[in-house]
Amino acid sequence: MRRNKRQAQQTAYIALGSNLGDRLRILRQGIERLNALDTTSVKQCSSAYLTAPVGDQPQPDFINGVCRIETGLEPLPLLRHLLEIEAGFGRDRAGGKGGPRTLDLDLLLYGERVMRLPRLVIPHPRLHERAFVLYPLAEIAADLLIPGKGAVRELLPGCAAQDVRRLDETLTQGVSSLPAEPTVNTANE
């Protein structure tokens, strides 16, 4: 049974990525599961972006995006739920970072909170240098301030050389009860 979603809510941003299987279907199902969490609602999602993998390991291209949520969950319980959702899609973290994945969910920002714990750093420590995060984030929140780094739109030029291409599909297409169209900012076209 779902609890009341009106308890103290915080805005958070979640990055999504997949490069195995039916990537768009997996991302959309991941969004549905995110929206089903207690005291959590997905409020807005970016378009889908085709991106090259980071690192030297040969693997398929990713489809990435970002969602804005409102949640009553604190950061560590939210992270635990994100990891459970990933595991439900067969994500195996035993292979370390940088490998292929069915579903990757990263907590990028949680309100204006800045924290550094062994299992969680907010804002995400590499968010400001990754096009596959910044372009979709700029699409839905270009003026959002990243603590210690600046506004999202100001960070885009720093990753302009990275391979990222917006697709003609939203992450919420076909997902019931979620916004179908992102708010597009022309600054990142």
Which of 91, 116, 130, 168 does the annotation list as catalytic? Answer: 91
Q: Residue 2 has what pLDDT?
A: 46
* CA–CA gap between residue 104 and residue 51 (Å, rounded): 14
22 is catalytic: no
Ordered mean pLDDT values, 10 residues apiece, the chain (189 residues): 62 96 94 94 95 82 96 96 92 69 94 93 92 95 94 93 90 70 44
* CA–CA gap between residue 33 and residue 86 (Å, rounded): 10
What tokens does 127 get? 């968010």
Q: Domain coordinates of the chain in residue numbers?
A: 10-173
Cβ atoms < 10 Å from Cβ of 74: 12
Which of 28, 101, 130, 166 does the annotation list as catalytic? Answer: 101
Q: Residue 108 has what pLDDT?
A: 97
Q: Residue 57 has what pLDDT?
A: 75
- Write down the pTM of the prediction: 0.88
* CA–CA gap between residue 54 and residue 162 (Å, rounded): 9
Give the CATH fold of the 10-173 domain.
Alpha-Beta Plaits (3.30.70)
104 is catalytic: yes
* CA–CA gap between residue 42 and residue 30 (Å, rounded): 11
Q: Residue 169 has what pLDDT?
A: 84
61 is catalytic: no
